[in-house]
Amino acid sequence: MSVPRFWRRLKNIYNLIGTHCNKCGSFLYPPRNMCPKCRRNGMTTPFKFKGFGEVVTYTIVHTGAKDYTKLTPYILAIIKLEEGPRLTSQVICDHSQIRIGMKVKAAFRKLGEESEKGMIYYGTKFVPMED
């Protein structure tokens, strides 16, 4: 991902800042400037999520994505945040521990880097609540 594209979203991905539609009350993460329910009639404002959620589904990726080949095998999961929206992230825990319904919380980790000379991407992954 290019530098400007990552930079534009960095506050969101570091701090789990999404949007809240004041019209229908929907919580949206990833952030959107148009509420999918209300469309033009919606009123969206930034909203910081607490970072607690539970695992909806997961997989253990053995053949990694481009920036993640050094991290395999890693747990990729869809997590439902307490406030409602679902997001895709990694869960850092023992592979025998991961299960649907596991309670997790946000952790700040390195997502990858462009190259040895390039930018380092940071963001939010998840760890078990008990950690």
Partner 1 sequence: MSVGIVSYGAYIPRYRIRVEEIAKVWGANPNSIVDGLMVYEKSVPDLDEDTITIAVEAARHAINRAGIDPQEIGALYTGSESHPYAVKPSSTVVAEAIGATPNLTVADFEFACKAGTAAIQTCMGMVDSGMIKLGMAIGSDVAQGAPGDALEYTAAAGGVAYVIGKKDLVANIESTYSFTTDTPDFWRREGMPYPEHGGRFTGEPGYFKHVASAAQGLMNKMGTKPSDYDYAIFHQPNGKFPMRVAKMLGFSSEQIKPGLVVTRLGNTYSGSCMMGLAATLDIAKAGDRIFMTSFGSGAGSDSFSFTVTDRIEEIRNGAPSIEKLMANPIYIDYATYARHKNKIKL
Partner 2 sequence: MRDVAIIGVGCTEFGELWDKSFRELFVEAGVSAIEDANVQGGKIDALYVGNMSGGRFIEQEHLGALIADYSGLASLHIPSTRVEAACASGGLALRQGIIAVASGYHDIVIAGGAEKMTDVGVETTTDALAAASDREWEGIMGATFPGLYAMMARLHMHKYGTTQEQLASVAVKNHHNGTMNPKAQFQNEITIDTVINSVMVADPLHVFDCSPISDGASAVVIAPADIAKKYTDTPIYVKASAQASGTISLHDRPDITTIDATVAAANWAYKMAKIAPKDINFAEVHDCFTIAEICAIEDLGFVKKGEGGKAAESGLTAIGGKIPVNPSGGLKACGHPVGATGVKQAVEMVLQLRGEAGKRQIAGANIGLTHNVGGSGGTAVVHIFGRDK
Say which residue the tokens 């919606």 belong to: 42
Q: What would the two tokens of residue 87 be?
A: 């997001």
Residue 8 interacting with partner 1 (CB under 8 A): no
Residue 129 interacting with partner 2 (CB under 8 A): no
Q: What phi and psi, each to the nearest 5 degrees, are found at residue 3?
A: -55, -55
Nearest to 33 by CA among 47, 43, 23: 43
Interface map 42-81 toward partner 1 (x if CB under 8 A)? ------x---------------------xx----------
Residue 108 interacting with partner 1 (CB under 8 A): yes
121 near 102, Cβ under 8 Å?
no
Q: Residue 113 CB, nearest distance to partner 1 (Å)?
A: 9
Which of 38, 71, 92, 119 lies at the binding interface for partner 2 (CB under 8 A)?
71
Which of 15, 48, 54, 67 lies at the binding interface for partner 2 (CB under 8 A)?
67
The enclosing H or E element of 44 equals strand 44-48
User: How far, in Å, CA of 91 to CA of 98, rounded?
Assistant: 8
Residue 129 interacting with partner 1 (CB under 8 A): no
The footprint of partner 1 (CB under 8 A) covers 10-11, 14-15, 48, 70-71, 92, 94, 107-111, 120, 122, 125, 131
